Amino acid sequence: MRRPTIITTGLVALLGVIAACSTDGATGPVETTQFSQVLSLPQFDSTLGSGAHRVEIKLVSGSLTVREVDLEPDDAEEQIASEVTAIDPAQGIVTLALGGFKVSYNGNTRFRTPTRSRVSRSEWETAISAALNAGQSPPVQARRKQPASPQAPNDASFLAADLRIADQPDDPKIEALVADANLETIASPPPLAILRVFGLPLEITSQSRLGRRTPGGVPTGSVEFQASVNSVDVAGGTMTLAGGTVIRFGAGTTLDPTGDLFSLESTASAVEAGKVVRAEGRGTVETAGPPATIAATDVKVEVD
């Protein structure tokens, strides 16, 4: 579930509030269900052994423990998201809560705030310093162009091409290009393995979820899914997600208590009332379709 939006008063006072952009008449892409195939550690290891792959790593806040890591389609950028704990304007360095990682910046870096897409370096540094002096840890996203090959696992350098202050904190995250050299299996766990990225020893444990996103179709076997709910058939024990994917509920399906809705009946009522309802969960592909049918193991339903 999203955390509450936080914009510090210091940042607002320094940088102002952006005007809302009108979207009248705009037509966005049609949403489809997002799938992620669940992988075992040997499967994950084997995939990295086939060459360089882009991964998105989400970490347990305040630690270097991997909460989930997904092999994902290639991208043009690498990214580190965390909260700033210190800034050194003279050296052009911000220190992050994520393992004390240091992100460098220079005169070629683009600086952004929650309300402006481009500000000067001095404005950005002043905003960060003001938040730190107020006892806050402003969340930032540091981005750079993705290199042609993975950076050496112990190389902790990261020169940001783009630094933006986020409008709300989120779980620490790294998106980067990696290969088999980045993964170290442990002979005597725990942890099960170390995924070393930018010099950070990220721990994969028995609680870490490993997956592979498959935007171009439905994988087989165990999968994770996420999408908005289009309709609910209470009598049939199913919900239909964006793109037509059918999620089948059975006797063994559990509804996540951290969600907003806890039954098909309440989900149906919310959808019929015109609310934006989203579902995410795990299950087993019964038919690849289209439309795909997934027997759900556990489901979390939220109302945006």
Tell me, yes or no, whether 59 and 183 share the same domain: yes
> Is 186 inside any structural domain?
yes
What is the torsional sign of CA 176, 182, 185, 188? negative
Tell me, yes or no, whether 70 and 208 share the same domain: yes
Total count of residues recorded for the chain: 304
Q: Looking at the 3D structure of the chain, how many domains does it have?
A: 2
> Is 66 inside any structural domain?
yes
Full-model pTM:
0.71
* Two tokens, residue 157: 């350098």
> Is 22 inside any structural domain?
no
Tell me, yes or no, whether 184 and 223 share the same domain: no
Tell me, yes or no, whether 205 and 290 share the same domain: no
Tell me, yes or no, whether 245 and 291 share the same domain: yes
Tell me, yes or no, whether 115 and 204 share the same domain: yes
Tell me, yes or no, whether 146 and 276 share the same domain: no
Q: What's the rounded Cα separation, in Å, for the pair 297 and 225?
A: 11
Tell me, yes or no, whether 195 and 260 share the same domain: no
Tell me, yes or no, whether 222 and 79 share the same domain: no
CATH number at 294 reads 2.40.50.140
> Is 20 inside any structural domain?
no
Distances (CA, A) of 189 to 70, 93, 141, 184: 22, 35, 32, 12
CATH number at 157 reads 2.40.50.320
Give 236-277 as a DSSP string. Answer: TTEEEETTSPEEEP-TT-EE-TTSSB-SHHHHHHHHHTT--E
Angle 166-152-148 from CA coordinates, rounded to 5°: 75
**pLDDT (tens place) for every residue of the chain, 304 residues total:** 333 333 333 333 333 332 233 333 334 445 677 778 888 999 999 999 999 999 999 999 999 999 999 998 778 899 999 999 999 999 999 999 999 999 999 999 999 999 899 999 999 999 999 999 999 999 999 999 999 999 999 999 999 999 999 988 888 999 999 999 999 999 899 999 999 999 999 999 999 999 888 755 667 788 888 899 999 999 999 999 998 999 999 999 999 888 899 999 999 999 999 999 999 998 999 988 788 899 999 999 999 8
Tell me, yes or no, whether 194 and 48 share the same domain: yes
Domain that holds residue 143: 42-212
> Is 285 inside any structural domain?
yes
